[in-house]
Amino acid sequence: MSLRTRLLILVIAAMLVPAILVGLRFMQNRTSEIDAALANLAASADDIAADLGEKIQGTAQLHYGLARARDLDTRDKTACSAFLADVREEYPQFTGILTIDPDGRLSCDSLRTNRALDLNDRGYFKEVRTLQGKVAVEPVFGRLTGLSVLQIAYPVRSEAGALKFVLLASFNLNKFAEFHDKRLLAEKNILFVDAKGTVLVAPKGGWSEPVGGSIAGSDLFRFAVAPDGEPFREVTDRGGHTQIWGVARSPSIRKTGLYILVGRSKNGLVAAANRRLYEDTAILAVALLLLLAGLWILTTVSIGRQVGRLAVMAKRLGRGDLSARIPPPHPRGELGGLMTLLNGTAESLEQQRAAIADLSHKLSQSQKMEAMGQLTGGVAHDFNNLLTVILGNSEHLADRLAGNKELQRIADDIATAAERGSDLTRSLLAFARKQPLRPREVNIAEKILGMEQLLRRTLGEHIECNFTFAPGLWLASVDPGQLATAVLNLVLNARDAMPEGGRLTVEVRNASLGQSDLDVNGEPRPGDYVMVAVTDTGSGMSSEVATRAFEPFFTTKEVGKGTGLGLSMVYGFAQQSGGLVQMQSEPGQGSVVRLFFPRLAAPPSEDPPPAARTVTQADHETILLVEDDDMVRAYVENELKALGYRVITAANGPAALELLHQSRDIQLLLTDVVMPGGMFGPELARQAVALRPDLKVLFTSGYSQDPVKTPDGINARILTKPFRRQDLAAMLRSALAAPPR
């Protein structure tokens, strides 16, 4: 048997399994296409419902504006109808816009039919009479036009709340459906029915029930009104046509009594998938035939030499030389394709090796940063222990050297340096651990005043910066860190808008908002607020840009100059704080962004005077001191004894528990948070309080201001390292004076 025949048989055998797998894959693709087409029915219905919801919202905004038009608040019905006719010409999606008197009689009509209609029986009119600032929606057939419409009614009330008249816009459902029918390229059928099963908009072809007819009681209607039914349903009509329908599940649209369905012929849906399957199968068959024919020809032309080139290439790749390539010219047919494939594979492997190396480098950097964060936290913790000893001993030196001014100054300098070191460790810990900031009662003006130097440095000398703070500012409950970030984001945006220089003003004052004061979404939020306004004299924004300024990822800056998240973060922070955002901007006239934070309902209770100012002597209580660092333990023990306490010491949690079992005369547990031996301070406190319920607890820690979550039921205090003698004494008295649990 010749080599050519053997290769041919081998290729046929080798291609059989892949061909079967590819064929199975084609069948899977067919199933996936059918599933995707079915899912697309419900998605199309939801898209139409979402668009209709936007149209309803837009109509509500139109009503809100028309309600304030003087041309409607008149007894001249002719002038009123003419005004509404002009408005309707600008909004062709409505078949008519009219007003209804409180008694249900038609007043003004954009169609100027001068007909007398009594609309008291309409559901939307009954509902809208009870509403305040909202619209009532109902799908019906218009009495003036006979068309299927979505009646959108809005109550216009006097300042006293009395109903003056009702604004009604009839949204044309036929035009709306025609628009979406064109958008869907007429591949799908659109059906609108109301809550009674009446057909409002019928598909153009292959549908038996006319507009105005009813499908109540049908399987399709039961599917449409089911609150949580299947995503789609196959329905066969009286003509024997089978269609698959999907229904919109939008709660707001279904609440109006309108059901939107999108269907497609089952035969058309399956035929498209079958056609694709046949095409893919044909392509696979042609490819296999061409491959076999090429192999038959190739085996007659220098197959040995070409195989040799392939073998050399394979050996080089086997040695790890990914730069190996088979140089051209390449023979035609399978061997040439194989050579090209090998070259492409080698190139791909070379790229993958480079990508793996790059990923390895990034992983190494990530691990290094993580290790650096852990190392930083550990170093800062140990450094705080050292600073505790340094700061405490410097206080002792300052007391002992009170008569020697120069040496006392040196001791004070040591204490100052230790406090600066404490500030440094707080910065290190901020890098090592991301801790969530908590909202608290804040004087916003004081917070921004503390940022003044940072903001001035951020702006640069080419921008004049002014701060204005009104007297008698209210307190607000906000996250100070997030507030600082929001103000900094606004200042950075203002700086970018003034590349040639300008003037920036940061203003803080009290503000009381009413119903006419709207946020950037056009919603009124009346109430008392503390306002922060950032005003610049920069380039400003057009109305189109201003309307999208708070959208995430929207930016007018060049690529790489901004993420478009700054203003959206500011907006989200204000919303989460219970406040709102307003913005005004005009091209060439600068911009002003106002943040409003709710005023605290009641003034905060005054904090007790700082305990650090007075050192209260001990009352001969016994304290169990648990500290793993020998120097810190010795220093704190001496301080406690100097304050008049009896002290028992332990180097770790297990030893402390053993002492608690032996001695009952212990009033307070003073323990470090992070300790060796497998038992940290919180766990020690939990077990100690379980053993001695009357035991008071005071934590010390070299981490942040709030480094540990105390166990449930333990009202423990936390003393942050490094601390002064007054801090220790005051915290001890506060902990011992705490009421029993």
Query: Over the stretch 25-47, which tens digit does the pLDDT of each residue have?
Result: 777 777 887 788 888 888 999 99
590-598: strand order across its sheet:
463-469, 502-513, 527-536, 590-598, 580-586
Whether 456 maps to a domain, the answer reads yes
Check residues 492 and 300 and name the one with the higher pLDDT: 492
Beta-carbon contacts of residue 416 (< 8 Å; ≥ 6 apart): none
Q: Report the distance separating Cα 623 and Cα 643, nearest Å.
A: 12
CB atoms closer than 10 angstroms to residue 687: 17
Bridge partners of 242, per DSSP, are 236
* DSSP type of residue 240: S
Say how many residues make up the chain: 741
Q: In this structure, what CATH number is given to the domain that contains residue 479?
A: 3.30.565.10
Map 390-445 to HEC letters. Answer: HHHHHHHHHHHCCCCHHHHHHHHHHHHHHHHHHHHHHHHHHHHCCCCCCCEEECHH
Mark whether 496 and 645 lie in a shared domain: no
Q: Of 172, 200, 230, which residue sits at a domain end?
A: 172
**What does the pLDDT look like over 157-181, one tens digit per residue?**
988 889 999 999 999 999 999 999 8
Q: Kindly report, residue by residue over 268-280, the tens digit of the pLDDT.
A: 777 766 777 777 7
Q: What is the pLDDT of residue 485?
A: 83
Spatial distance between the Cα atoms of 463 and 504, rounded to a whole number of angstroms = 7
Q: Does one domain contain both 593 and 667?
A: no
User: Has residue 242 been placed in a domain?
Assistant: no
Residue with tokens 């594979």: 345
Residues paired with 598 in a beta bridge:
529
Residue 103: HSE in the Cβ half-sphere, 13 Å Cα cutoff: 4
The answer to whether residues 543 and 451 belong to one domain is: yes
Give the separation between CA 38 and CA 45, rounded to whole angstroms: 11
Q: Is 129 buried (19+), middle (13-18) or exposed (0-12) by CB count in 10 A? A: middle
Six-digit token string for 33: 């296409």
Query: Can you tell me the mean pLDDT for 284-313?
Result: 72
- Which DSSP state fits 461? T
pLDDT digits (tens, 9 = 90+) for 645-681: 999 999 999 999 999 988 878 999 999 888 887 788 8
Angle between helix axes 480-496 and 566-576 (nearest 10 degrees) is 150
Same domain, 548 and 444: yes
Full residue range of the structural domain in which residue 555 is found = 435-598
Q: And the tokens for 151?
A: 């009646």
- Report the alpha-carbon distance of residue 145 to residue 115 in Å, rounded: 12
Whether 550 contacts 595, CB under 8 Å: no
pLDDT digits (tens, 9 = 90+) for 711-740: 666 667 788 788 888 888 888 988 888 887
| Domain shared by 456 and 551, yes or no | yes
Residue type, 139: P
- Give me the long-range contacts of 134-138 (CB less than 8 A, separation at least 24): 134/60, 135/56, 135/59, 135/60, 135/63, 137/56, 137/256, 138/256, 138/257
- Same structural domain for residues 445 and 586? yes
- Structure tokens of 649? 């010491």
| CB atoms inside a 10 Å sphere around CB 621 | 17
Q: CA–CA separation, 579 vs 596, rounded Å?
A: 5
Q: Are 723 and 422 in contact (CB under 8 A)?
A: no
Beta strand 189-194 with 199-201: parallel, antiparallel or unpaired?
A: antiparallel
**Is the pLDDT at 195 greater than 60, yes or no?**
yes
pLDDT for res 196: 92
Q: Is residue 369 part of a domain?
A: no
Strands 622-626 and 696-701 come out as: unpaired
Structural domain contains residue 137: yes
What burial class does residue 726 get, using C-beta atoms within 10 Å of its C-beta: 0-12 exposed, 13-18 middle, 19+ buried?
middle
Q: Kindly state whether residue 473 falls inside one of the protein's structural domains.
A: yes
If asked whether residues 568 and 661 sit together in one domain, one would say: no
Q: What one-letter code names the amino acid at 203?
A: P
The pair of structure tokens assigned to 365 is 């950097």
Clarify whether residues 460 and 580 are in a common domain.
yes
Q: What's the whole-model pTM score? A: 0.40
Specify whether 575 is located in the same domain as 711: no
- Rounded to the nearest angstrom, the gap between the alpha carbon of residue 481 and the centroid of all alpha carbons in its chain is 18
Average pLDDT over residues 12-24: 74
Q: How confident is the model at residue 411 (pLDDT cuts 50, 70, 90)?
A: confident
Q: What is the CATH number of the domain that holds 729?
A: 3.40.50.2300
Q: Mark which of 564, 598, 632 sits at the end of a domain.
A: 598
Element at 310 (helix H, strand E): helix 303-318
Largest CA distance in the chain: 114
For residue 612, which amino acid is it? Answer: A
CA–CA distance, 242 with 189 (Å, rounded to integer): 13
Q: Tell which of 598, 633, 657 closes a domain.
A: 598
How many domains in the chain? 3
Whether the per-residue pLDDT at 224 is higher than 70: the answer is yes
Helix (H) or strand (E) holding 260: strand 258-265
Residue 459 lies in a domain: yes
Q: What is the CATH number of the domain that holds 119?
A: 3.30.450.20
364-368, 545-549, 687-691: which range is least confident on average? 364-368
Instruction: Give me the chain's average pLDDT, please.
Output: 81
**Is the pLDDT score of 17 beyond 80?**
no
Question: CA-CA distances (angstroms) from residue 142 to 169, 192, 480, 533?
Answer: 11, 15, 56, 49
Do 582 and 626 fall into the same domain?
no
pLDDT level of residue 283 (50, 70, 90 thresholds)? confident
- How far apart, in whole angstroms, are the C-alpha atoms of residue 444 and residue 509? 9
Give 431-479 pLDDT, tens digit per residue: 343 334 457 888 999 988 888 888 888 888 888 999 999 999 999 988 8
CA-based radius of gyration for the chain: 39
Region of 595 (left: φ > 0; alpha: ψ -120 to 50; beta: rest) is beta
- What are the tokens at 479? 């996250």
Confidence category of residue 606, pLDDT binned at 50, 70, 90: very low
Token representation of residue 206: 């292959």
Q: Are residues 466 and 532 in the same domain?
A: yes
pLDDT of res. 436:
40
In a domain, 408, yes or no: no
CA distances from 381 to 565, 653, 720 (A): 35, 18, 11
Residues 558 and 644 in one domain: no
Specify if 373 maps to a domain.
Answer: no
Look at the block and give the residue holding tokens 């004076």: 737
Cα 638–641–642 angle (5° rounding)? 85
If we measure between CA atoms, which residue out of 72, 75, 160, 69 comes closest to residue 110?
72
The Cα-based distances of 170 to 106, 146, 261 in angstroms read 14, 11, 21
The string of DSSP codes covering 526-567 is: -EEEEEEEEEE-S----HHHHHHTTSTT---SPTTS--S-HH
Question: Is residue 533 over pLDDT 70?
Answer: yes
Q: Taking a C-beta distance cutoff of 8 angstroms, is the pair 683, 653 a contact?
A: yes
Q: Which of 72-81, 370-379, 465-474 has the largest mean confidence?
A: 465-474
Under 8 Å between Cβ of 255 and 56: no
